[in-house]
A and B are shown apart, each in its own frame.
Chain A
């Protein structure tokens, strides 16, 4: 990775407030953040500090009130809704704390969903999905329903789903917090080894300090602000 690498994400003065029946909650109070290609960025901080809100804005599923948030040079805020959907479908992969697999689809079918959304034919999509399932070590469980898999296995299916359409940005919200330490470790290794490469950036929201070591850089958040961004080799 060279220093001049292009920015995957460039946030400038991003503000987001929630209106809860009169009370205004400032979730993001002017965020500046850059995430580079080939980098695993962690967003850490106490509960309620705005981590989820920030990756929602980055992923384009929430509009900021002001400021700009460019992903690969484009701010989804200014896109028409169809453009935005296409952009999201093509460029972004999601991993959730609660896995969010579709319970009536088996593993292969779940993994194939992003391809189907991108207009790939079902047969091709499921073929490619099966390949990616192999990469995450679940080649033999393609026909299993989520309910037949352990938490760690479900999260691996979710990671396969985030990878299958080869997006350039993957956002993960608390991907390990529903898992025990060891399983969480396996999942992080998978993200670092399989998901991350030069042509892709990963943003991982977490407050699980045991996995901080997997990050290239860590952005510490508090009360809607980023306090500091450090290399993970630096001690926090």
Chain B
């Protein structure tokens, strides 16, 4: 009976395409929107991912996420270094400073200060220059997006395009001279400001004088050390918060989930996609069954069991579900591919396939159920009605 079910379904071109379009739409929205959402949300902690070397991040216990800097006294660094099981602990400065541009305007920058000796915590990719060039006096490394956009120099020709910041150019950070010694590539974060890397001591010199300057302490554990245990030891002996890299990412992600409208907005899009898709596909599928009720009645009169009819309808639902799901997921992948070089956030982990697959399944089960109910209650005697 399977081939009969499929022929019945595909025989009605208009409805068949309508059902598939509804499901494709639902599956597209339920995959693409979450992909953008995941892409966007993972930006919240991309600074932590970029800075992959340390096992543990140590900070003020009140810190809620990566950009929420609550400075520590410099002496805390030595306290952390004193904890058993710590291989090394390095200071990290992270703060917003004003850069004065060549034309006299100001641009706020995200300044990162790295341990002077080891330069641990540098950018993931150097496009021009070397990280070691930071050792030159007044040296800074600028991220490429900032260099070509917000920190770009006005064109020498009137009305021309701004020129990207290059190695050798100078900036003023808080009235102090800085020389560009490298251009780096960093992963996008929620912060739209340009990122400037320099040494810890230089960053502290750039920044306005304050009693506490140390933003984070980055810790590497001794080989074989139990990292969760070490975080507890650090907290106990210093009174500071210590998180594994993953814990700090989760903390940051959780903060953005709770305190921004992002999850709600995407939740609404996904729900709407689900409802609209379910309505279109469910309605068309149900209409399709209603229109074919007489055919089901004929099969019933000729001795087809409800169980077989149920299987036929399920098969029809599974087929349109698979096609709609495949098209939706495929379109999402195409979308992601087309957007790969833009600032559009997009991440497509396999869990999204499960998520939208589940959504499409739900729609198909719903559509099949209302149709099956109708067919099971159908009296075969209708076949003799004119």
Q: Does A211 contact B (CB under 8 A)?
A: no
**Interface segment, B69-77, B89-97, B302-310?**
B302-310
Mask, A68-83, CB within 8 Å of B = 1, is: 0000000000000110
Interface string of A85-119 (1 = CB under 8 A from B): 11111101010111010111100010001101110
Given known A-B contacts A105-B4, A105-B7, A90 and B302 have beta carbons under 8 A apart:
no
* Bound CA span A81–B306, Å: 10
Residues of B283-327 whose CB lies within 8 A of A: 294-295, 298-305
Contact status of A96 and B7, CB under 8 A, knowing A85-B304, A113-B299, A117-B304: no
* Complexed CA–CA distance, A114 and B1 (Å): 10
The answer to whether B303 and A89 touch across the interface, beta carbons within 8 angstroms, is: yes
Pair B384/A173 contact, Cβ less than 8 Å: yes
Given contacts A62-B381, A82-B305, A105-B4, contact A117 B10 (CB under 8 A): no
- Residue B386 at the A interface, CB < 8 A? yes
Q: Are A88 and B305 in contact (CB under 8 A)?
A: no
Which residues on B sit within 8 Å (CB–CB) of A59? 301
Interface residue count on the A side (C-beta < 8 Å):
32
> Does B8 interact with chain A (Cβ within 8 Å)?
yes
Smallest beta-carbon distance A63→chain B, Å: 10
Q: Is A52 an interface residue (CB 8 A)?
A: yes
A102-B130 Cα distance, complex, nearest whole Å: 75
From B295, B305, B384, name the one whose CB has the most chain A CB atoms within 10 angstroms. Answer: B384
Contacts of A114 in B (CB 8 A): 302-303
Beta-carbon contacts of B361-386 to A below 8 Å, as 1s and 0s? 00000000000000000011101111
Whether A98 pairs with B10 at a CB distance below 8 angstroms is no
| Chain A 117-157 residues near chain B, CB threshold 8 A | 117-118, 122
Contact A61 B301 (CB under 8 A): yes
- Chain B nearest CB, measured from A56 CB (Å): 5
Q: A55 interface residue, CB < 8 Å from B?
A: yes
Q: CA A73 – CA B329 in complex, angstroms?
A: 59
Q: Are B383 and A96 in contact, CB atoms less than 8 angstroms apart?
A: yes
Residues in B with CB closer than 8 Å to A61 are 300-301, 379-381, 383
B301 A116 Cβ-Cβ under 8 A: no
A55 to B380, CA, bound (A): 13
User: How many chain B residues have a CB neighbour from A under 8 Å?
Assistant: 25
Query: Residue on A with the closest CB to B308?
Result: A117
* CB-based contact B4/A52 at 8 Å: no
Contacts of A117 in B (CB 8 A): 1, 299, 302-304
Contact of B295 with A85 in the complex, beta carbons under 8 Å = no
> Are the CB atoms of B4 and A94 closer together than 8 Å?
no
A104 with B294: CB separation less than 8 A = no
B381 — which chain A residues lie within 8 A by C-beta? 56, 61-62
Q: How far is the CB of A78 from chain B (nearest CB, A)?
A: 17
| Complex CA distance for A185 and B7, rounded to whole angstroms | 33
Nearest opposing residue in chain B for A82, CB measure: B305
Q: Is the beta-carbon distance between B303 and A86 smaller than 8 angstroms? A: yes
Q: Give Cα A59–Cα B384 distance, bound, in whole angstroms.
A: 11
Among the listed A55, A85, A105, which residue makes an inter-chain contact with B305, where contact means beta carbons less than 8 Å apart? Answer: A85
* B304 x A55 contact (CB < 8 A): no
| A61, B7: Cα distance in complex, Å | 26
State the CA gap A52–B381 with chains docked (Å). Answer: 9
The answer to the question of B158 belonging to the interface, with a C-beta cut-off of 8 Å to chain A, is no
A100 and B304: CB pair below 8 A? no
B8 to chain A: closest residue by CB: A104
8 A Cβ contacts from B203-222 to A: none
Greatest chain A CB density within 10 A among B11, B298, B299 is at B298
Tell me, in angstroms, the Cα distance from A103 to B12 when the chains sit together: 9
Interface centre among B1, B12, B294, B305 (most CB of A within 10 A): B305
Residue picked from A87, A88, A92, A102, most chain B C-beta under 10 Å: A102
| Chain B min CB distance to A38 (Å) | 23
Q: How far is the CB of B304 from chain A (nearest CB, A)?
A: 5
In the bound assembly, the distance between CA atoms of A105 and B302 in angstroms comes to 16
Which B residues are CB-close (under 8 A) to A89?
302-304
Distance in Å: Cβ of B382 to nearest Cβ of chain A: 9
* A residues in contact with B304, CB < 8 Å: 85, 89, 117
Q: In the complex, which residues of chain B have a beta carbon less than 8 angstroms from the beta carbon of A94?
A: 298, 301-302, 383
Interface residues of A (CB under 8 A from B): 52, 55-56, 59, 61-62, 81-82, 85-90, 92, 94, 96-98, 100, 102-105, 109, 113-114, 116-118, 122, 173
- 4 nearest CB pairs, A to B: A104-B11, A89-B303, A61-B380, A88-B303
- A-B contacts, 7 of them at CB < 8 A, read A88-B301, A94-B301, A98-B386, A100-B294, A100-B298, A102-B4, A102-B295
Q: A87-B303, A102-B8 given. 14 additional CB < 8 A pairs?
A: A55-B384, A61-B301, A61-B383, A81-B305, A88-B302, A96-B298, A96-B384, A97-B384, A98-B386, A105-B8, A109-B4, A109-B7, A117-B304, A173-B384
